[in-house]
Chains A and B, each alone.
Chain A
Amino acid sequence: MIYCFHILVCLCLILFQTTLMPHFSIFNHFYDLLIPFIVYLGIHRSAREGVIFVLLLGMIMDGLSGGLAGIYLSVYFWLWISALQMTQFFRVDNFLFLTFLTAAGIILENLIMLGSEALFKSESLSASITLNDVMCQILWVAFTGPLILFFLSYSQKRIGLWRDNLFSD
């Protein structure tokens, strides 16, 4: 049940990001919507379950994007590992912590993208996005990232309860 929910969420996030958001100019500098989902996998789901989704999502996003093959896989993998480790030191239901974690995810993604451009492109580095774009993304994620995380963890609990009721009957 929970796997179906996760697949559905992934699909909705990808479709919203690639198909609907481009129609609205307000979302021109929006962040990668899968980052909160990866953070959620890191802090709420087991490593075995998380790794499957991280690999799958990384490959799908690499396929849909025009970037270097494997770049999204790297971003999601390192973000997931970081979120997994963070849960050992912090309380995961703290709003400030979730805001920090999702914002850190955005910074990590941009740093990896910038690093790959710098390392693997033969031409001189002139990033196609500016610091303003990254700041916009961080502002967006600071307001909406924790909400997505709360929604995901709430839905997970509801589905768990619903499944328990279904099987107890």
Chain B
Amino acid sequence: MIPKKMLLIVGVIIIFFANIIILAINSQRTSPSYGPSWLALTCIAPFQRTLTGSTRFMQDIWNNYFNLVSTAIENDRLEKKLSRANEINNFCNETRLSNLRLRDLLELKKETPYHFLAAEVISRDPSIWFKTVIIDKGLADGIQKGFPVIIPDGIIGQIIDVSAHYAKVLLIVDRNSSVDALVQKTRARGIIKGGQAGRCLFKYVLRKHDISIGDIVISSGLDGVFPKGLRIGSVSEIIKLNSGIFQTVAITPYVDFERLEEVFVVASLPHPGVDALQ
């Protein structure tokens, strides 16, 4: 007769190894758009949406009615900023027009038009280990896995999971995220990965490239996910080891991921779900 204690120990060991095997299998495959994830999004997200809506409403009341003390000063500052922005905008328009003329002359292919779907962030990842958010748009709105998510400040991330009315977005500051990028000034190419403390790492950049602090990093479009030319962040630190062919560059994203509220999901024109919505 086997003692009960021994049976318990053997049981725990078997469960432990079964647990590791299941996790190993899960790590090799992408999760399907149904099952536990789909269930969680479908059941919990409506509550999250309601609660987020209420919180925003209260915040709006606070910001609009009680926090007007510094508005006049801010208004002056913004007016000056606006006139400067208008100047830059005029210059950009001129550049764009000349760019279009030159592209016509060279008979270059027209840039693919993109469609943007606005969505609201309704919740964040429960763990500090992972950086994801849930948005209130899903399959019914034409969103699919892999669609990039942006805001005017820069790139947010990409859709990794989607249910009927909600979707999960993997932020670019998450370790599992990758974006093919280049330095705007020098065109040095590399991969943006998530780093620590809300920063990103620009990896696999050749040592020969001269990069300086403050340089702007944009998406290269070569990963087939993010359109070319979207802003990601600026160089904040350069790490050059004594050996090796690459240098690692720390990037501070333009997006403040702590204050994400509304985002745009980028859907290219040929997508059938989006076509149906048009």
Contact = CB atoms under 8 A, between A and B. Distances in A.
Contact of B175 (A17, A70, A71, A128): A128
Interface of A is mostly: helix
A67 B127 CA distance: 9
A63 B39 contact: yes
A2 interface: no
A128 B36 contact: no
B128 A18 contact: no
A66 B123 contact: no
A21 B12 CA distance: 36
B51 A19 contact: yes
B38 A14 contact: no
Given A113-B129, A117-B175, A64 B22 contact: no
Interface in B104-156: 122-132, 134
A101 to B, nearest CB: 19
B37 to A, nearest CB: 4
Contact of B19 (A11, A74, A128): A74
A104 interface: no
Contacts of B47: 11, 15
Nearest to A22: B124
B52 A120 contact: no
B25 to A, nearest CB: 9
A26 interface: no
Interface string A138-152: 000000000000000
B43 interface: yes
Interface residues of B, number: 46
A74 B23 CA distance: 9
A137 B126 CA distance: 13
Contacts of A17: 126
B258 A25 contact: yes
Given A19-B52, A63-B37, A66-B160, A120 B43 contact: no
A119 B51 contact: no
B130 A66 contact: yes
Contacts of B123: 18-19, 22, 64
Nearest to B49: A19
Interface stretch (A37-45, A54-62, A92-100, A159-167): A54-62
B125 A64 contact: yes
A87 interface: no
B31 A69 contact: yes
B170 interface: yes
B131 A66 contact: yes
A60 B40 contact: yes
B135 to A, nearest CB: 13
B132 A66 contact: yes
Nearest to A33: B126
A66 B134 CA distance: 10
Q: Which 4 pairs from chain A and chain B are nearest by CB?
A: A63-B40, A66-B132, A120-B27, A63-B37
Interface of A: 11, 14-15, 17-20, 22-23, 25, 28-29, 32, 34, 59-71, 74, 77-78, 81, 110, 113, 116-117, 119-121, 126, 128-130, 133, 137
24 contacts: A14-B126, A15-B47, A17-B126, A18-B134, A19-B55, A25-B258, A61-B40, A63-B36, A63-B41, A63-B44, A64-B40, A65-B130, A66-B130, A66-B132, A67-B130, A68-B23, A69-B26, A69-B31, A69-B37, A70-B19, A128-B130, A128-B194, A129-B129, A129-B196
Given A20-B51, A66-B132, 11 more contacts: A14-B44, A15-B51, A63-B38, A64-B125, A64-B134, A69-B36, A69-B37, A71-B23, A78-B19, A116-B27, A119-B24
